[in-house]
Structure 1
Amino acid sequence: MTAVAILCSLLWTWQTAGLTVPPVGLGFIQSPAQLTVMRGETATLSCHFTVQSQKRGVQWFRMDHGRQLISASPRHVLLEGNQSASLLITEATPKDSGKYYCEVTVLLQDPELSNGTLILVLAPPSKPKLYLQTPTDPETDPFSLVCVTWGFYPSDLSLYWTNQSAASTIDQPSINNCTLTSSTTAAAADQVQSPQCVRLVDTRTSEVYLIGVLPLPDRQHLETGVTYACVVEGHPAMTDPLAATYRWEAPPNLLIGALNVLKMCLLSALTAVFSLEAVKHKRR
């Protein structure tokens, strides 16, 4: 029996017995090990291996919560070369963040899995929006400013308030600034909740909303108007802080208002006097 016939006989015996050829090792190199992209960009993963047989298959998996096969789709582009394969994730979203692996299967050998790539898709927070909250009873309860920002990933963000005024002092209630971190657990997230700091999660889209509430001082106690700013910063996708401002005006000065009315009355009287003198002059 020739050597070729002996080899074929052994292969047939291994296959029928449910055995596989001992793996030689594919010399896997998947790059990069970590990849950070902005929301909307394309994440490109490359997998290089050494295998002589053309009877092989390449698959991509995501393994955050179980083994999830990545199939070709409009957003997932699968490319394969002679000794390489690539996965392109277009229009990346925060939901694409996770660990991805390349798996190569060669005929009569056990599949081999690469070292994997950890993808992080960053999404910057929206510019904060301010809303004036009117109390149920304006005579006894304070007005409040509500600041809202959303759409950010991961949950690393700080929200705080600043104010500017020409007055030497401002009767300002205590302020509770809001800070979230990506390591915040569900139990710790509950601690963020307070009457002045609220964290909400949209169960449909998984988007996180950070809401800050600032009680405003009584306008009757203000000497001049106050400009309040809600500032968000500390997110890895941000280079500069984002802010929104609101002007809380002092009540009108009654003395100045009375003087303005008196001024208008004097001007009207003088106008009437001059008009009468002009009429008398024409009659002469």
Structure 2
Amino acid sequence: MCESPVRHAHSLLFVPATRPERFVKALASGADCIIVDLEDAVAEGSKDSAREQLAQHLPQLTPGQLTRTVVRINAVGTRWHEADLALLRNWTMHGATVMLPKCEDAATLRGVAQKLGDGARIVALIESLAGLDAADALAREPHVVRLAFGHLDFQLDVGIHATADEPELAFARSALVAASRRARLPAPVDGVTTDTGSAERLAVDARRARAFGFGGKLCIHPNQVAGVNEAFGHTEAERAWARRVLEEAARHGGEAFSLDGRMIDLPVIRAAEAILGG
């Protein structure tokens, strides 16, 4: 199974499945990936028609666009779930990824992967305390390419009323980052910023996510994409520093050395490599 862009995406932009005319526009917005939403963005009475519209428009995407497309299906146990799986089974073989909401059990996720077929790639969306408790097991499932944090539903489940900077959710964010690391998955994806009109709020949320060790963030409006990409990317100053570190490391033949008054050893060299690699 080839490497999916979803694994290292910084910005993942939601698009309602009921608005297929936006799919290609969203892919051209600068977002690393899009998430076509069959779940929360679609009213119950429109679920079947949304799936039909998606089925009509998926063939219009190029192979490259398909690998950047995630589909959030309806949760296990809902009356739309099986039909969602039936549609996506063929498309996962062509590179599309499935986001499974309300993940709480590895065996259930494994059953979803089996129905999707060998080519299945799944983003496990953690939205409850039970999901957080199962994060390690979910992350280790072979078809899971990434964890994501549905922090709004998580607050409802646990009864948390988080303040603006969300210190109340620090334990959950740290747990998801640690679970991803233990399973050798890429860093997880943080939840949305609901204030689509505030670049400052988005910047604060994205910087916090990166500080916790997240590798990306969910977006609900195209105007959030650039801010997320900026927050999770590296500045030219950081890249210039990384190049100097690697140049000096090559000169010192693996020995520790000092650069700008800072000791440079293997962990710092690895950090510089990561900056230039990302």
| TM-score between both structures, scaled by the size of structure 1 | 0.22
| TM-score between both structures, scaled by the size of structure 2 | 0.22
Greater helix content: 2
Greater strand content: 1
Larger radius of gyration: 1
